[in-house]
């Protein structure tokens, strides 16, 4: 009886399965198109699923989908990032077209945080996201230029228009270091420390900025200056998509100083009763025109992407050719990238592979040429009577129309310098990144991230014997090569769970990173010009009589080990908590302090979820955030910064010849440790008016202690906890404190929302107050009577003494010098400057008549962006500016002094400054000017074409412009000089440049204005 019952049950189950299989085997095919409700454009990659099942597909390049559904299916679910989900009843239909509504708020956006992602609504730290569609357009050769002005508190400055120097200076919430790096950590697709030049702007999906310590603490000893996370584009399931983007651009000088033209120069000679015939050599040369050009650049980007349900791919190739506006300068670059992703074993295992390579050729130019172009006599010719480049004062090269051209060490032919000198480099960066994720059970995920990134550079310099400046008659050449290999391995485990009103996510992991850096250099002189720098052995070693070494090499390594942990907790989707902890160990620091802890905690309160606000209709979302965290900084210092080093220093004579001498070159400091920054952040996120107005308000206070600083110390004295004896005159130590505090406001408003016309506007403001709190420690005491000054250059060539002082109680970038009151006369009748007398005399620790005369730190930086859509037209522009800062106008100090005329050309303004005859240039408040400005940073006008080809899903043409105009009263070249040092990610930073922002140098590469015409096609 039992056996019959068992057989009956089995038979019943088989019949039931056959019935169910038959039911599911009877499928219906449904197709349709998905569009945007606002502009009716088709949407690519929209997820289409049968509700309650795993059956799904996605829309292709033309926005269409096709899905086979069981006959008993009742509902389709459409979902897409940035849009509200839509459920549609099938109702027996075989054709269903739908339109998705953009999310009323940005709460559904995904924010990439350290080692993971979060919904924006759940984020408790200070973050900002810039999507690909919002990146700045135009001639952009670095991704950072593409987000300039997009994030409150993120200040990005490109100093000049040199395409070979395409690494802008970045400051996020101010400068917080003296000797170490002050720039945010760059993370690309989960790989920390990769050069941004390794990714083309066209390959970026989104960029996330972690601004406060509670968000950045997961990066521990590298997150003190914030973190910028770059996520590149990946393929989506569906039909293959081919995308082609191309543009051609023209760059020209945005602004040059108004020097006397040749005719004005001759006229001024007559006006001043100077000997015209002795100074007019007959030519009429605009030297700036001779060394510059309108540069035509072009960029092509081809990508192919697609995939199936468990596999996606995207490959891209980007080529950019960008000549510089200076002769023989420019850069061409090829970027190739491949992203692959495969899921398997019921989606429990996912493998992601990223391969990328960037190769570039760069032609460098000597910025000194622009200084030469301003000071050389405009009646000199470019070439002499023999057709060679004229070189003033050089025998055989200095005759024109039978007249000898006078020379001097300050006068040189700038065209010859640009045309005859060769300075070029080939660079290659290759990244291989493998990620493996394993999900054995729902909610538990293990990850392995490993990568190898290698950077190679070969650089060559050649000066031919025909280059006669300064009486040179010897050829010289040098070669430099370096290789940097960065190896990263990270292992993480993550568990997520929701139980009733409680949800939490726990992450733990381990990271190991090793950076090796080695290079080689060689030089020689006195060989035939035909070899260039390719045959150094053909030269006559030290033919110029120098004792400089002609060969050198170096190698160093650094290791960083970290343990990470994070907890995200939410109660009732209303109360949020994030806690991070990281413990790092670095080989760069002293053996007494190689390990450090970096914790953070932040909380969020979604007030809109409370009962007292749920019925307030005009408020869509309101969230209060409070966070505190500690981060570190080890970037920008050298690999063996804490160790006792020695090496070759000069030579000595013995046994009838010279031998290399060796000596100590660096003091040891076993106490050396990270700079640590503790930041408190209070933020308020809000959305009102049914999602039309969204914004955030941030208040922060950042205290950096144990600041790394190169401290002077007497040789033979003792220092440190181990009572070491100093063998050289300085030591890198942790000696100071710096404070940055400020407020940021970001607003985004959909001002007009009509069927055929939309206007969205956004604005952001940031105020930061920087102050050096202390420059002393328990071991090293700072002497305010002998403050350090920075930023000077070439007083013998009309430059200035160091105008920036580093002093407690003042910001970095504080100008210090005499306060100009006018001109007067000495007792003997000779002219003099009248400075304000502060009566300090010998009691004034800074010397008589000097005071604080300005600051390079702006009181306010801001940006205003607008986007207009009218039918098939899109127009957007971005205005950006800064207020409340000063600039040292170096070019005016040098060229606005009439006493340099007629031996040097001069600015037209030089004869209205009132500087008396016989008075030399001198730095004072006379040359410190307000740098307030508003710049039209970029604009773009695009037209979406009808789909005129069968397989074409989107086509548009556009015109774009960059740096179109600047409104300012500043008289110099550009009111936005560098913020400090631009760090080479594979070497140290320039401390002097880092501590002297706000100085416009007398040697420069002019900022450019560009216009581009391009198109985009998607198949």
Query: What mean pLDDT is predicted for residues 142-160?
Result: 89
Q: How confident is the model at residue 108 (pLDDT cuts 50, 70, 90)?
A: low
Burial of residue 18, with CB atoms counted within 10 A of its CB: 0-12 exposed, 13-18 middle, 19 or more buried:
exposed
- Residue 207 has, within 13 A of its CA and on its CB side, a CA count of 29
Query: What mean pLDDT is predicted for residues 872-891?
Result: 94
pLDDT beyond 60 at 7: no
Q: For residue 308, what pLDDT is reported? A: 84
- Residue 898 to residue 831: CA distance in whole angstroms: 14
Q: How confident is the model at residue 614 (pLDDT cuts 50, 70, 90)?
A: confident
Condensed to tens digits (0 to 9), the pLDDT of residues 661-692 reads 888 889 999 999 999 999 999 999 999 988 88
380: helix, coil or strand? coil
pLDDT beyond 70 at 104: no
Q: For residue 274, what pLDDT is reported? A: 92
CB burial string 86-97: b at 16+ within 10 A, e below: bebebeeeeebe
Top mean pLDDT of 140-144, 276-280, 467-471, 990-994 is at 276-280
Q: For residue 214, what pLDDT is reported? A: 92
Condensed to tens digits (0 to 9), the pLDDT of residues 518-536 reads 999 998 888 888 888 888 8
Please report where in the chains the tokens 């560009």 appear, as a residue. Answer: 1010
Q: For residue 82, what pLDDT is reported? A: 65
| Partners of 779 in the β-ladder | none
- Residue 890 to residue 999: CA distance in whole angstroms: 7
- Residue 375 to residue 368: CA distance in whole angstroms: 11
CB–CB of 947/296 below 8 Å?
no
Condensed to tens digits (0 to 9), the pLDDT of residues 786-805 reads 777 887 765 445 556 788 88
CB–CB of 144/186 below 8 Å?
no
Token readout for 1002 is 């007398």
Query: What mean pLDDT is predicted for residues 650-667?
Result: 81
- Residue 912 to residue 49: CA distance in whole angstroms: 75
Query: What mean pLDDT is predicted for residues 75-79?
Result: 90
Q: How confident is the model at residue 546 (pLDDT cuts 50, 70, 90)?
A: low
Condensed to tens digits (0 to 9), the pLDDT of residues 554-566 reads 899 999 999 999 9
- Residue 867 to residue 875: CA distance in whole angstroms: 6
- Residue 546 to residue 549: CA distance in whole angstroms: 9
- Residue 165 to residue 142: CA distance in whole angstroms: 10
pLDDT beyond 60 at 16: no
Q: For residue 740, what pLDDT is reported? A: 97
Q: For residue 663, what pLDDT is reported? A: 87
Query: What mean pLDDT is predicted for residues 198-203?
Result: 89
Averaged confidence pLDDT in the chain = 87
Question: CB count, 10 Å around CB of 922?
Answer: 19
Q: For residue 653, what pLDDT is reported? A: 78
Query: What mean pLDDT is predicted for residues 371-399?
Result: 88
- Residue 105 to residue 119: CA distance in whole angstroms: 12
CB–CB of 704/654 below 8 Å?
no
CB–CB of 598/217 below 8 Å?
yes
Q: How confident is the model at residue 949 (pLDDT cuts 50, 70, 90)?
A: confident
Token readout for 886 is 């000063």
Q: How confident is the model at residue 425 (pLDDT cuts 50, 70, 90)?
A: very high
pLDDT beyond 80 at 986: no
Q: For residue 12, what pLDDT is reported? A: 46
Condensed to tens digits (0 to 9), the pLDDT of residues 327-366 reads 999 999 999 999 999 999 988 999 999 999 999 999 999 8
Q: For residue 830, what pLDDT is reported? A: 86
pLDDT beyond 50 at 633: yes
**Among the ranges given (17-21, 102-106, 603-607, 838-842), the one the predictor scored with the smallest mean pLDDT:** 17-21
**Among the ranges given (634-638, 689-693, 946-950), the one the predictor scored with the smallest mean pLDDT:** 946-950
Q: How confident is the model at residue 982 (pLDDT cuts 50, 70, 90)?
A: low
Q: How confident is the model at residue 584 (pLDDT cuts 50, 70, 90)?
A: very high
């Amino acid at each position: 009886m039992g056996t019959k019952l068992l057989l009956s049950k089995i038979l019943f189950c088989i019949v039931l399965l056959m019935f169910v299989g038959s039911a599911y085997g009877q499928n219906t095919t449904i197709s349709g198109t998905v569009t945007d409700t606002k502009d009716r454009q088709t949407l690519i990659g929209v997820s289409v699923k049968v509700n309650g099942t795993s059956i799904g597909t996605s829309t292709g390049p033309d926005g269409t989908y096709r899905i086979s559904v069981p006959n008993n299916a009742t509902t389709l679910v459409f979902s897409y990032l940035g849009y509200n989900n839509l459920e549609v009843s099938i109702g027996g239909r075989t054709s269903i077209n739908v339109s998705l509504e953009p999310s009323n708020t940005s709460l559904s956006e995904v924010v990439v945080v350290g080692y993971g992602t979060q919904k924006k609504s759940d984020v408790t730290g200070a973050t900002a996201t810039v999507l690909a569609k919002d990146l700045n357009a135009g001639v952009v050769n670095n991704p950072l230029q593409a987000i300039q002005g997009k994030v409150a508190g993120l200040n990005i400055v490109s100093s000049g228009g040199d395409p070979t120097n395409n690494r802008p200076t970045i400051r996020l919430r101010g400068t917080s270091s003296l000797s170490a790096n002050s720039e945010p950590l760059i993370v690309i697709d989960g790989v920390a420390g990769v050069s941004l030049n390794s990714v083309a702007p066209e390959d970026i999906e989104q960029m996330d900025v972690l601004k406060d310590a509670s968000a950045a603490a997961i990066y521990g000893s590298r997150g003190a200056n914030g973190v910028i996370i770059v996520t590149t584009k990946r393929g989506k399931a569906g039909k293959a998509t081919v995308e082609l983007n191309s543009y051609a651009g023209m760059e020209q000088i945005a602004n040059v100083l108004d020097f006397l033209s040749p005719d004005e120069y001759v006229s001024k000679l007559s006006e001043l009763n100077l000997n015209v015939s002795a100074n007019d050599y007959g030519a009429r040369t605009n030297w700036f025109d001779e060394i510059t050009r309108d540069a035509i650049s072009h960029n092509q980007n081809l990508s192919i992407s697609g995939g199936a349900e468990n596999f996606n791919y995207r490959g891209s190739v980007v080529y950019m050719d960008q000549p510089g506006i200076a002769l023989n300068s420019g850069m061409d670059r090829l970027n190739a990238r491949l992203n692959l992703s495969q899921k398997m074993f019921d989606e429990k295992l996912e493998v992601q592979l990223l391969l990328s390579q960037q190769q570039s050729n760069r032609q460098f130019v000597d910025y000194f040429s622009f200084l030469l172009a301003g000071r050389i006599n405009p009646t000199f010719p470019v070439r002499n009577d023999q057709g060679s480049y004229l070189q003033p004062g050089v025998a055989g090269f200095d005759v024109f129309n039978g007249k000898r051209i006078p020379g001097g060490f300050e006068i040189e032919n700038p065209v010859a310098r640009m045309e005859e000198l060769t300075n070029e480099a080939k660079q290659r960066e290759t990244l291989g990144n493998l990620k493996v994720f394993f999900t054995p059970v729902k909610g538990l995920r293990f990850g392995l991230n490993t990568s190898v990134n290698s950077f190679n550079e070969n650089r060559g310099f050649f000066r031919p014997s025909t280059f006669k400046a300064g009486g040179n008659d010897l050829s010289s050449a040098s070669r430099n090569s370096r290789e940097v290999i960065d190896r990263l391995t990270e292992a993480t485990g993550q568990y997520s769970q929701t139980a009733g009103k409680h949800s939490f996510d726990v992450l733990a992991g381990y990271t190991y990173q090793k950076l090796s850096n080695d290079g080689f250099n060689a030089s020689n002189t006195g060989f035939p010009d035909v070899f260039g720098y390719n045959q150094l052995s053909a030269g006559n070693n030290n033919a110029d009589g120098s004792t400089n070494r002609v060969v050198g090499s170096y190698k160093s390594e650094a290791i960083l080990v970290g343990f990470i942990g994070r907890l995200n907790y939410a109660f009732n989707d209303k109360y949020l908590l994030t806690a991070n902890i990281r413990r790092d160990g670095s080989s760069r620091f002293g053996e007494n302090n190689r390990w450090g802890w970096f914790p953070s905690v932040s909380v969020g309160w979604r007030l809109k979820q409370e009962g007292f606000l749920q019925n307030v209709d005009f408020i869509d979302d309101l969230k209060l955030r409070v966070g505190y965290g500690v981060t570190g900084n080890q970037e920008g210092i050298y690999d063996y910064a804490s160790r006792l080093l020695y090496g070759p220093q000069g030579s000595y004579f013995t046994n009838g010849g010279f031998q290399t001498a060796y000596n100590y070159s660096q003091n040891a400091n076993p106490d050396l440790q990270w700079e640590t920054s503790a930041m408190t952040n209070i933020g308020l996120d809000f959305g009102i008016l049914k999602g039309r107005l969204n914004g955030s308000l941030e208040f922060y206070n950042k205290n950096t202690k144990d600041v790394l600083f190169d401290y002077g110390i007497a040789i033979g004295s003792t220092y440190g906890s181990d009572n070491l004896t100093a063998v050289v005159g300085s030591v890198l130590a942790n000696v100071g404190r710096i404070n940055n505090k400020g407020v940021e406001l970001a607003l985004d408003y959909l001002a007009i929302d009509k069927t055929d016309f939309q206007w969205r506007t956004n604005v952001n403001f940031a105020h930061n107050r920087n102050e050096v709190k202390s420059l002393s420690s328990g071991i090293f005491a700072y002497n305010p009577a002998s403050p350090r000054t920075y930023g000077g250059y070439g007083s013998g060539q009309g430059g200035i003494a160091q105008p920036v002082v580093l002093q407690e109680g003042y910001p970095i970038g504080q100008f210090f010098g005499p306060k100009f009151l006018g001109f007067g006369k000495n007792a003997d009748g000779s002219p003099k400057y009248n400075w304000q007398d502060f009566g300090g005399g010998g009691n004034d620790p800074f010397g008589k008549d000097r005071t604080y005369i300005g600051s390079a730190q702006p009181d306010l930086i801001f940006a205003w962006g607008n986007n207009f859509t009218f039918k098939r037209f899109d127009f957007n522009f971005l205005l950006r500016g800064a207020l409340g800062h000063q600039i040292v106008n170096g070019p005016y100090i040098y060229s606005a002094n009439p006493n340099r005329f007629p031996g040097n050309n001069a600015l037209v303004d030089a004869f209205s400054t009132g500087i008396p005859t016989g008075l030399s240039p001198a730095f004072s408040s006379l040359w410190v000017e307000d740098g307030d400005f508003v710049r039209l940073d970029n604009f773009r006008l695009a037209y979406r074409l009808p789909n005129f080809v069968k397989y074409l899903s989107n086509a548009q043409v556009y015109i774009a412009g960059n740096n179109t105009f600047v409104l300012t009263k500043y008289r110099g070249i550009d009111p936005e000089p560098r913020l400090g040092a631009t760090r080479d990610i594979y070497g140290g930073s320039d401390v002097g440049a880092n501590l002297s922002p706000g100085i416009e140098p007398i040697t420069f590469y002019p900022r450019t204005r560009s216009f581009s015409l391009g198109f985009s096609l998607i198949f």
